[in-house]
Amino acid sequence: MENSQSLKIALVGCGGIAQAHWRGIQAHATQLVVSAVVDTNPDRAAAMAKQTGGQPFASLESALADGDFAAVDIMLPHNQHEAAAVAAFAAGKHVVLEKPMSTNLASCARILAAAQQAGTVFLVAEQAQYWPDARQVQALIQAGAIGEIITARAYFGNPAPATAPTPKPWRYELAQAGGGITIDGGAHWLRPLRMWLGEVAEVSAVTGRPLAEMEGESFMRALLRFESGVVALFDTLYGGAVLGPGEEFRVTGTAGEIISERGYPGRLLLFDKEHPEGKVLKANLWDGDGRLAAFGYELADFAQAVLAGTPLAAAPEYALGELRTALAIYRSAVSKQWERVWD
């Protein structure tokens, strides 16, 4: 039984993202008590158990049968999300599920139906929803700080590794990831755009594969037309030996611009009549209380929803927006036409 101050949780999948979630629990979601860890790799499960104090399990099935926890945090390859989430809901557990919810809409519908039947808390973990700078930009736009929005740009890019990683990462495989850079890391840049500009109505896109060993796209450029009529440019890239400085977000309004710089430390800047050379709103986007803390913020939000009944910052259905946009981008790259997101 959980008390009103703590929630026992199982970490399902003990890869790199689990380390980020564990750091977030320690720093910002201390209501969560890791009482179980699950991984098919016994060495990884044992290492995570030593870190967290959780009981190790080789499968979610065995953890659900014999473990002591009321919630699960699922951090598995995308194509395994449905089976794990549905099993957890069937066992009456609260669920955190890393984005994307799944690789296709039919699978997402089954997950959502299982969540509704279980009646437990369901969070699709999109940490960009909790980025302090994304929320600050949202508040500035809503307050009219840059006037009416004219256009925007988002850029997500990383240089390619010097040599192909071994073994091949699961994210490089279409069958497991459901796509390439857009459906995966690109989602973190789509979420702020949706927070700021509303829902994406249609897209026109091209894709490419500069990183040959990655089966999905490692380059994508798209125009996003929002329901408001605003058009934004969205770029993703995993390629090139070295990438220079630049911006990751630029939002242009009739009264000014907001820019966030790409890379470390990254600054958030406001340009308006009072600050034509730019006012620094945040000097380091990645500091201890910045984006790196967002994993903890989202898990604290989940814990509060379970323990106190508070509403989540974003309902799980909202996460369909990033997936739908990515899938429309993939369709557009084939059709060479504008593709609707919600039809």
Q: How far apart are CA 72 and CA 188, in angstroms?
A: 22
pLDDT for 229-281, tens place per residue? Answer: 999 999 999 999 999 999 999 999 999 999 999 988 999 999 999 999 999 99
Query: Which parts of the chain sit beneath pLDDT 70?
Result: 1-4
Instruction: Name the phi and psi angles at 150, rounded to 5.
Output: -95, -50
Give me the pLDDT at residue 264, please.
Answer: 87
* Alpha-helix residue ranges (DSSP H) falling in the chain: 16-28, 42-52, 60-66, 81-90, 105-118, 132-142, 174-177, 187-197, 294-308, 320-335
What are the beta bridge partners of residue 207? 220
DSSP secondary structure string for all residues of 277-321: EEEEEES-TTSTTSGGGHHHHHHHHHHHHHHH-PPPSS-GGGGHH
Residue 255's pLDDT is 98
- CB-CB contact of 333 with 200 (8 Å): no
Q: What's the mean per-residue pLDDT of the chain?
A: 97
pLDDT for the residue numbered 1:
36
pTM: 0.96
Within 8 A by CB and 6+ apart from 165, the residues are none
Residue 129: strand, helix, or coil: helix
> Largest Cα–Cα distance in the chain?
63
